Amino acid sequence: MIATPSRERIHELIAAGDAGTAASEAITALGPHVLRYLQSILHDEGDLADAFSVFAEAVWKGLPSFRWESSLTTWAYRLAHHAALRVRDQPWRRRLRRLETSEASLLADSVRTKTFIRAERQRQSLEKLIAVLPVEDQSLLALRIGEGLEWSEISAIMTRKGTPVDANTIAKRFSRLKERLSRMAREQGLVEGPDPTGSV
């Protein structure tokens, strides 16, 4: 379980007029987990840095009005998911100006520098297959396998405004995706055995 500031702690800080500290504590606690998630779907260091900054800015601006309709963790992963999609969007890639320096983006850089340690890539052959998948599929794999989230949490994260995603639909999509990856891996002689993604 991810240790995050309690609801009471966040409310207390915001009520005291210290939303910045509330956001800082949330970003610091969730940062390593969000970075790992973003790294699994964004394979470019610059994209990763940009997406994490977008995530941090969203937490900083959105936390005071967060309505707790989901857990803080689910909300944070949803912000990260949307940040990844935004950074991978072509109009974003064509932008020449980097994100403006702000307290949130400076904190994001600090958290990323302190907590992001390049771990040796496991199952490199499988990652090559995953890297060519659409971002939505990569996100689904990362949230379920990498982060171990429940289907209800994943459906909440992947739901876009006005387009709800059913948890059962997500589970079925994940099952089909695993079968496809297993078949691709076996066909290319990359792995042995029936399921290179593990039993999740």
pLDDT at res. 100: 53
The Cα 74–Cα 77 span in angstroms is 5
Conformational region of residue 120, where left means phi above 0, alpha means psi within -120 to 50, and beta covers everything else: beta
Q: What is the predicted pLDDT for the residue at 61?
A: 93
Q: Which residues make Cβ contacts (< 8 Å) with residue 140, sequence separation at least 6?
A: 154, 158, 170, 173, 174, 177
Task: Provide the pLDDT for residue 94.
Answer: 52
- Considering only the C-alpha atoms of the chain, give the largest distance between any 2 of them, rounded to a whole number of Å: 60
Query: What DSSP line would sit under 55-71, residue for residue?
Result: HHHHHHHHGGG---SS-
| Cβ-contact 51, 31 below 8 angstroms | no
**Amino acid 13: pLDDT:** 92
Give pLDDT, residue 1.
61
Q: What pLDDT is recorded for position 120?
A: 40
Contact 73, 98 (CB under 8 A): no
pLDDT at 122: 38
Q: What pLDDT is attached to residue 45?
A: 84
Q: 113: number of CA atoms within 13 Å, CB side?
A: 6
Q: Which domains does the chain have, with CATH numbers?
A: 1-119 (no CATH), 121-200 (1.10.10)
Residue 189: CB atoms within 10 Å: 8
Per-residue pLDDT of the chain (200 residues; tens, 9 = 90+): 667 888 899 989 999 999 999 999 999 989 889 998 998 888 888 888 889 999 999 999 999 999 898 899 999 999 999 999 988 876 656 554 455 557 777 777 777 666 544 334 334 677 778 888 888 899 999 999 888 899 999 998 988 776 778 899 999 999 999 888 888 877 876 655 445 555 55
Q: What is the pLDDT of residue 117?
A: 44
